[in-house]
Structure 1
Amino acid sequence: MNHPPQIEGTVANRNLNGGYNSRLLVTLLLSLAVFLFLLAMFDKKFRASETDKLQEQASQRLSVYQNSLLTSIEQYEFLPAVLSTDPRILHALTEGSAVSESSPLLSQTNDRAGSDEIFLMNKDGLTIGSSNYLSNTSFVNQNYAFRPYFKIAIEGGLGVYFAVGATSGKAGLFLAEAVYVDGVVTGVIVVKISLAALENSWVQSGEKVWLSDELGIVFLSYDARWQYLGLRPLSLKDQKLVAETKQYGTEEIELFAIKDDNSKYSSVELKGESEHILFQQDIQGLGWKISWLYSKAEFTKAINLKKIYLFSLYVFMIISGLWVRERIKSAQTQKHISQLIQQSEEHQRAIIENTDAGLIVLRNDGITTFINPQAKLLFRLEDDSLPDIQLLISPWRGIHATVRPTDATGLRTDGTKVPILVSTSAIGTTGEHEYLVTIHDVSELKSAQLNLLKSNDALEQRVISRTEELRQAENELNQSQRLASLGRMSSAIAHEINQPITALSSYAASSELLLHRNDHEKVAINLTKIKGLIERLSYISRQLRMVSGKRNTGLSTIRILPVVQYALDVLKTKTEQLKVKVEIDIGEFDEAQGNSMMLEQVVVNLVSNALDAVISKTVREIYIRSRHGSGLRLSIEDTGQGLNPDDLPHIFEPFYSTKDMGEGLGLGLAISYSLVTDMGGKLTVSSQVGNGSLFNIDLLSSSINVKNNTTESFVFDTTDTTDTTEVASKLLGNRVEK
């Protein structure tokens, strides 16, 4: 009888549980609705918050890795500068003693410094010394002029360049510095260092870090699969540059799949892995970017955890657990970063202790905190005191001086002085920045420079003496040439005058006999011939009077076409007889500064010579053209025989003729040359045997104001009242000599 109540109780409990479940379901649904509402409101905020968090975390980590990278580079930065001033390096460049001197030196230096390779190139990019000169992959006699680090260094800059070795195939960072001899760049010294240790530290830390160059190509990575892949497409110019310099070998540069999800970061898809967020930081001074990758799945997971936190308490607990886990992981990472910082500082301290250079560490306020043993030895410091750096270096330029070495004087405690090179750079990764002062004793270098200056002075004296000897020899040669010219002139004048005089003597004797016979008719004939010979002598005299005459040039603006037309009119009969085709290409209003009568004589001379030159040719053509440039050029070209190369240097000399004796004095071109010169112009010739000759008359522009001037040259005697046209016709009736 008790069963019914029990059944009712069970039913009641079920109803109660059902109501609870319903309320729970409603609550869950309401909670879900609230969650979805809050999710919609705070989703963007959550993403921004998580992005800022990762951005800050990435900034810290990238700063640490960047400092570690710069530290690895800075320990070798001074080495190219030091080697570039080594006398043995300078000697190798100037004397060419590569393997016997520079290579062993570079090999020894490379072993001490712990660098990958050190090699020396001349100004043409040819390697004349290398630390690996004994290996099968020796750089000696290899030309690396195509490498950008060489081009930067040869221009006087510091070449910093990461690439795969063109010979060894090993990747590394190249530090290149110009080598100066007497202030002139004569070669480049290159130190190659390996960054493999830095890359291994990334792998061991578990961090996803890589380095990319200015073209966006990854060249150092936590995972070797991503090396030499591009973060952005390369232009055709950049593709050509990478191929020509062989920076990353000969393989084609493939690209990552990059998406810009946010203005603060981009995401990248890695083959075989999930999508990652890419945070980048510029490495100042190198043009590189260091990147830290964070899993996109982890990023989304963190946001979802925050969303779940808003949903309910148990989700909050789950999120709290994940947060604790993230904190532990973050603490481990921070611990690792601290260890890296400590290792970096210990590494710096070890470099300072063991380097061959003198090193002094200063605080921000200039207070000395450390002096290494080499510096103590250099300045003769006997105790552990830390003196003011201004008492050791003069002049002291301050802690913010350039990193490039500068000359200074070291002041030792015993009162002596020593020449030094000083450079300053910032160091330290935590707290206040410290500054490292690097000091090199250059006493031997200064002594070598002094000896070199003495040698240069002696060489200059020898050059001066040799120059004086050459000047004397040149004067003697000029005297010989003048005597030779005088000889040609004398021979030509003697021949031209002796013929008429001999004939005159003969006709005079004949006339005397004829007078005794009373043969007056034949005497008259002889007198006519004598008159012709006298005219011949007068003609020769007029030509000679043109030499060393004085005349007012009377330069003014003249038109070229009428001058040419006049010359062609004078030579019209000769032109038609020889059936020569003359083509004129001269503008109607072409003008220049000159003298019409003088230019007419020059054109008549040159055209007459051209007519004589084409007589023996089947094609008889003459081209007369004008062209404008800085002035006006009048060209006269023929299709004649051309001139012998041996005659060209003497063609404008007075009394020099290529014709047979008796056909002229050789004054035509000499007079033309002088007339053009008097007008402020220039007469030039170009010719090839069998291909004709081209004479160019370059005259001043008509826009230039030229005053009348009197010059001494080869011109007509101004006292001669003979008509210009008649003179030209008589002068050129036979032939004008070339």
Structure 2
Amino acid sequence: MFAHGLHRLGERVSSRSARPWIALVCGWAIIAVLGMAAAGEIARQDARADLARQADAAAALHAAVLRSELEKHRSLPVVLSQDPEVVALLSGVASGDADLVSAKLETVANQTRAAAIYVLDRNGVARAASNWRQPTSFVGSDYAFRPYFRGAVQEGEAEFFALGTVSGRPGLYLARRIGSAAAPVGVVVVKVEFDALEADWRSSGEPAYVTDSRGVVLVTSVPEWRFRRSRTLTPAEREAILADQTLSGQALAPLPFDSETAGAGRVVRTAVGGPASDWILSQTETDTPGWTLHLLDPIGGTIVANVWSARAVAGLLATLLAVGAGVVLRRRQQAMAKAVAEEQARAELERRIDDRTKELRAANGKLSREMDERRRAEASREVLREELVQANKLATLGQIAAGVAHEINQPVAAIRTHADTANAYLDRDDPEAARRSLGRVAELTGRIGVITDELRAFSRKSTQGVSAVSPAAAIDGALLLIGGRLREGGVELVRTGDAELKVQAEPIRLEQVVVNLVQNAFEAMTEAGTSDPTLTIDVAKKGRRIEIVVGDNGPGVDAAVAANLFTPFVTTKSAGLGLGLVICRDIVAGFGGELSLRPAPTGAQFVISLKPAA
């Protein structure tokens, strides 16, 4: 089983789809390794450059402190070489007192923190010294062999770093000649020791040392490095240094690191008060000729941290690049797989289409027949709807026939009476009176014509489209048909509203709706035996709509029936079919309006809400 799994894995790896992924992984590994190596090296160089700049700044600061210390003491030989008491002592004048000068030198040394101040005569013998009270007093000692004495006599001034012949302590000797070069009378010497300065350097944690022009360490924060050399010396140089600076043969050992090839900004490794560690070596020139200040700035983990950070970023970028490439590759493979799947699905679909062509044709034919039947059914439904509206209209005419007959019978009886009256006037030879009677007959005939015209118009099927219609005119036509019944039933008619408003509707159908609503109100009040029956018709504009409100003071609509009032075959009449309001609502909806029942304190209120005519 394990061998079979390895075989399948090998097949999968060797498959065509796996090759790009293998190439991607290999490319990612190569780019990541190279990128991390390059980024690490760049970060190493940058970190080293930053540390070197910091070390240079620190070295410049150390050099400034050294310069300040030396400048403070360099003025002493100049001042003392012009002191009258010192000059008198060396010139052999009787007033010169060695103890007095020594006391002065002692005071000056205490105030300036100089290690020692002494005065030599022209032969190099100390005549006065600041340590004249101590057992190691320089008074009477011969320093003619010292290079600083010879240099001061010859050049006027000299500086020399060496071990003290008496104290054995290292220091810088500042010497200045008293008198002219042709007739020198002596030399003033100030010895400067750097213990306090070296202690300050030591406390900073950055080893520092100063070398002279021959590479010998003179001032240092590491006492073990003093009088070591930073470069290789010739035998002659070695002998001269040992003699001049009164050093032993054990001095001039090399520094404990490769200082000869390690220039400024280089990394050196040495132990300073602990285990060996890496340091950045920086150096700067000082104001003292031939002196160079060197500073070791600790590296610690700065470079390593920067290198690893840069490598991590480079590795992350390479990984993100690989992930992006992987996403693109995956999408490309998915697109290719989708294209192949779509091609296969298309082929399969074509095959299925070919297999099912006959079934689809049969289904299509069946669907076409069903659509034709549905269109015929829709046409039949529309015809039935129109027939139902017309039937409702005719049924309404049948219900109002008695009232219309009453409206016609009265003018017909009056016509007969006026006709008989006209004949009588003619028999009496009164043509004017006969003419008045005949005129009245013509008026009554016109009234009958208006009623019959309204009946004919109401009974015909509506062929007009939606147009601007006056609700007042529609109400007038409806009342012309049903007004007789209202008067016979003793119903008080109250009409209010704006007669100038116009709505979008079909005039005959709007009249039909009003007739239905007025007749329903009349029948509701009649069946309930309402005393003082009152019918109100109001036309008013409400917001963006125009409302025709038909109300009565009858019994109203039962709440149980009101919810389904516009449902077919729901009615409150004992002999009603429940289709009148349904038909009226459909007619109003055809105008783009709405028919609804509005709650009222007494009776019922039906509201026809229509769009105003533009």
TM score, norm. by length of structure 2: 0.43
Q: Which has the higher strand share?
A: 1
Task: Give the structure with higher Rg (CA).
Answer: 2
